[in-house]
Amino acid sequence: MNQSQTSEDPSFLEAARREKLQRLVDLGHDPFGQRFDDRESIGAIRDRVHQIRFVSPDGCRHHLPDPLVPEAFRGWLESQGAGELVGPQVRAAGRIMLHRDKGKLHFIDIEDWTGRIQLFVGKAQLGEQDWQLVECLDLGDLIGVDGELRLTKTGELSIFARRLHFLTKSIEPPPAKHQGLVDPELRQRQRYVDLAYNEGVRDRFLARSRIVQSIRRTLADDGFVEIEGPTLHSIAGGAAARPFTTHHNALDLSLFMRIALELHLKRLMVGGMERVFELGRVYRNEGISPRHNPEFTMLEVYQAYGDYRSMMDLTERLIVDAIVTLGKGFVLPWGDVTIDFTPPFARRTYDELFGEQTGVDPQDAVAIRSLAESIGLETAGKHPDVVKSEVFEERVEEALIGPIFVTDYPASICPLTKRKRERPEVAERFELFVRGMELANAYTELNDPDLQERLFRTQLEGMPEEDSMARMDHDFVRALRHGMPPAGGLGIGIDRLVMLLTNSSTIRDVILFPLLRPETA
């Protein structure tokens, strides 16, 4: 507009809203509102449509047609002749999403997290006092309303407003009313706007909440104890990942953010917590991708006197219960295909799948090596099982539509897992795959302290100097020396589970506030 309109000045649109805010103050309203008791959710109010009656001149009360279709309702109402609709008095509150101004009559759609409803706001019905308030309303404001629940002539369920209550002014203009925010960066940075104005976002995060609740319930019903382990570790153990570093000032101590929950849960099994789990955040200082966020939510469960097969049963139950909780059936959409979670999930061994998908004998190291070379994998100097595992990742995993449990991995690629007693070359481990994505990982846990210590040492050898934060966790070995029961252990990536169950193609759609670079000024 002019030179003085710099970024320090209120924007043009904001100025209009602040002007209305001042008018509200002048009219004696609090632009940021007060406690508002006794309202019903809009969803509950919509359910009261059945209480609306048509009252004919003789005083007879008639039910409305069922089903209540707007077009049919219009004809029905005309056929009734004289009379009027009578409905219950209701009180609602919500955000203004649409505003149709017809002069002395306004139609205002308000929304809360249970739904949306139209307000019929007429000057004659409302009175002069509250009508002045109508002229101070903007899209995005929060208002309360008292009125009668009825239908308009065109059959739209509406609250016919008798009183309005101003609850909160929105100084910022909302995004385009039908598209909402489109720019994925803004949707993540300003998740509050995304949640308030974009369809389906709230449902996705409410689904996440229900999934997590369901998991806790299933575990609690099974006698598992939930604990909260430390997130600040002096040794970042339990996984092979680069940790975030931090520092405690008073102790002058370098610390790491945890990269896994495992080692403390196992200590607790030594202490007698036979069934224990933690559902919490872990932090890995690694790349960001549609499947990776630097902080993510992990479930780890340990069950004394069980093994990886106990964890397979539990994994299936956790997922099945969560899906039942969502109430959308077992066949869920995923992109332009579907995933069928109907139990039981398939259970196949690593070697079976390897043979089927590659056509190569899983025991024939020479044939596997030549297959690996034929698909361009580097094989020089690699252990045959490592080559096999790379071929598996390259050729088999993507074919695992699933859900499918892959069991009995080569022991050499999972050193911290117990081996089958009768077949020491096979590790008691499974991974659950769904559409090529690893969703869960479980082991029969190693509880031999001497073997554990030896494997730690082997793992640390040959590790580059900059990874020297990977240190021997002597206290953990000491714990094992006191005796940890044989046990099954399970890890589930909660974010990925939520992705699959809510048809989200990126992890950033199921994390409310994913890590972003700070906003530039």
Partner RNA sequence: GGAGGCGUAGCUCAGUCGGCAGAGCAACGGACUUUUAAUCCGUAGGUCCCGGGUUCGAGUCCCGGCGCCUUCACCA
Estimate the share of the chain in helix, then strand, then coil, as percent rounded to the nearest 5. Answer: 35, 25, 40
- Both tokens of 464, joined, read 């580059």
Q: Which amino acid is at 518?
A: P
Do 307 and 314 meet the contact criterion of CB atoms below 8 Å apart? Answer: no
Minimum CB separation of residue 152 from RNA in Å reads 3
Nearer to RNA, 93 or 161 (CB): 161
Nearer to RNA, 261 or 320 (CB): 261
Q: Which burial class, exposed, middle or buried, applies to 472 when counting CB atoms under 10 A from its CB (0-12, 13-18, 19+)?
A: middle
Query: How many CB atoms neighbour CB 189 within 10 A?
Result: 18
Q: How far is CA 307 from CA 170, 421, 429, 491, in A?
A: 56, 13, 9, 13
Nearer to RNA, 296 or 354 (CB): 296
Do 440 and 489 meet the contact criterion of CB atoms below 8 Å apart? Answer: no
Do 438 and 499 meet the contact criterion of CB atoms below 8 Å apart? Answer: no
Nearer to RNA, 107 or 113 (CB): 107
Q: Which residues bind RNA (CB under 7 A)?
A: 1-2, 5, 7, 11-13, 16, 20, 70, 98-105, 107, 118, 120, 122-125, 138-139, 152-156, 158, 173-186, 188, 238-241, 260, 284, 286-287, 289-290, 292, 416, 441, 459, 505-506, 508, 516-517, 520
Nearer to RNA, 116 or 217 (CB): 116
Nearer to RNA, 184 or 200 (CB): 184
Measured CA to CA, the distance from residue 452 to residue 455 in angstroms comes to: 5
Minimum CB separation of residue 127 from RNA in Å reads 10
**How many CA atoms lie less than 13 Å away from 328 in the CB half-sphere?**
17
Minimum CB separation of residue 213 from RNA in Å reads 27
Do 181 and 193 meet the contact criterion of CB atoms below 8 Å apart? Answer: yes
Nearer to RNA, 56 or 285 (CB): 285
Nearer to RNA, 5 or 342 (CB): 5
Nearer to RNA, 85 or 323 (CB): 85
Nearer to RNA, 320 or 446 (CB): 446
Query: How many CB atoms neighbour CB 170 within 10 A?
Result: 16
Nearer to RNA, 227 or 239 (CB): 239
Residue 262 CB partners (closer than 8 Å, separation 6+): 237, 238, 239, 300, 489, 491
Nearer to RNA, 239 or 401 (CB): 239
Report the SS3 class of residue 15.
helix
Residue 193 CB partners (closer than 8 Å, separation 6+): 174, 175, 181, 186, 187
Measured CA to CA, the distance from residue 143 to residue 145 in angstroms comes to: 7
- Both tokens of 175, joined, read 């995004």
Minimum CB separation of residue 42 from RNA in Å reads 15
Q: Which amino acid is at 209?
A: S
Residue 258 CB partners (closer than 8 Å, separation 6+): 229, 230, 231, 232, 233, 236, 238, 243, 282, 283
Minimum CB separation of residue 447 from RNA in Å reads 15
**Straight-line distance from the first to the last Cα atom of the chain, in angstroms, rounded to the nearest whole number:** 22
Closest CA to 352 of 310, 408, 431, 401: 408
